[in-house]
Amino acid sequence: MPRMISSQDLIRLVGTENCPLIIDVRREAVFAAAPTRIAGALWRDHMKVDEWLPLLPPDRKVVVYCGHGHNVSEIALAKLSAAGADAAMLEGGMEAWVAVDGPVVAREAPMLEAGLPRPSEWVTRARPKIDRIACPWLIRRFIDPLAVFHFVSAEWVKDIADETGAIPFDIKDVHYSHRGDECTFDTLISEFGITDQAVLHLARIVRGADTARLDLEPQAAGLLAISLGLSAIEDDDLVQLERGMPIYDALYGWCRYATAETHNWPAKTV
């Protein structure tokens, strides 16, 4: 990875499986006073790279950023490079990112530790279909890239959440669930302040498929069919989650880049 990465180049990677781990190394007081972080970023102390680097997945590239892309990022990058990490720093830091409207999320939200010092754990009902695959996709791509998910019998979700500290979602009477006509995917977007237009478009597709309002978006019927089919052929919920992630990657990519593209036969000759 080049030593520097621009905001424009990193923006193209956010929300995709190819996104590096983004590490917010702003000084602790600066981070604590900030309302937002880059989408998917984890906060870590720039002076303690030797403590937190071994806890990250060893095969992931790393991008660090501070407030302005100056000495704090330089220190973190130097330490990462000395430790053998494939790392880069964000040119211009958070200031440059905000200037080009890079996607951000709330620094903290209910039941989620600010800075994500450890992978967040989430628990929901077994046998997921739509919302319970879409929400983990959103969490891993925009909120916590290291998040862990548990699928359990519906009657035990709250008990397991209480005992383990995992965050319950997509069941009745918990914070992250359906609200009115909106589904849990919408709730996460609202709670974390996500304004990425492609995510908001995808949310309408998810909402239409998950709440049987297929008129909301033409793609909702297709997502419903694919989701029910995947659930029907895969008995292992965690395997289903991993197989479902590329579906939402593809839908997000379509919402972001390809909504105006059409496909006809026969193909036009060049």
Q: Which burial class, exposed, middle or buried, applies to 36 when counting CB atoms under 10 A from its CB (0-12, 13-18, 19+)?
A: middle
pLDDT of amino acid 2: 75
| CATH domain 4-106 topology | Oxidized Rhodanese; domain 1 (3.40.250)
- Pairwise CA distance, residues 216 & 30, whole Å: 41
Please write down the HEC assignment for all residues of the chain. Answer: CCCEECHHHHHCCCCCCCCCEEEECCCHHHHHHCCEEECCCEECCCCCHHHHHHHCCCCCCEEEECCCCCHHHHHHHHHHHHCCCCEEEECCHHHHHHHCCCCEEECCECCECCCCCCCCEEEEECCCCCHHHHHHHHHHHHHCCCCEEEEECHHHHHHHHHHHCCEEECCCCCCECCECCECHHHHHHHHCCCCCHHHHHHHHHHHHHHCCCCCCCCCHHHHHHHHHHHHHHCCCHHHHHHHHHHHHHHHHHHHHHHCCCCCCCCCCCC
- Rg of the chain's alpha carbons, rounded to an integer? 19
- Pairwise CA distance, residues 96 & 261, whole Å: 31
- The phi-psi region of residue 170 (left if phi > 0; otherwise alpha if psi is between -120 and 50; otherwise beta) is left
pLDDT of amino acid 268: 72
pLDDT of amino acid 21: 98
pLDDT of amino acid 138: 98
pLDDT of amino acid 266: 80
pLDDT of amino acid 139: 98
Numbered ranges of CATH 3.40.250.10 in the chain: 4-106
| Residue numbers in the chain where pLDDT is lower than 50 | none
pLDDT of amino acid 269: 67
**Up-side HSE of residue 158: CA atoms within 13 Å toward CB?**
8
Q: If you count them, how many residues does the chain have?
A: 270
- Chain segment 4-28, per-residue pLDDT in tens: 999 999 999 999 999 999 999 999 9
- Pairwise CA distance, residues 116 & 171, whole Å: 24
pLDDT of amino acid 270: 59
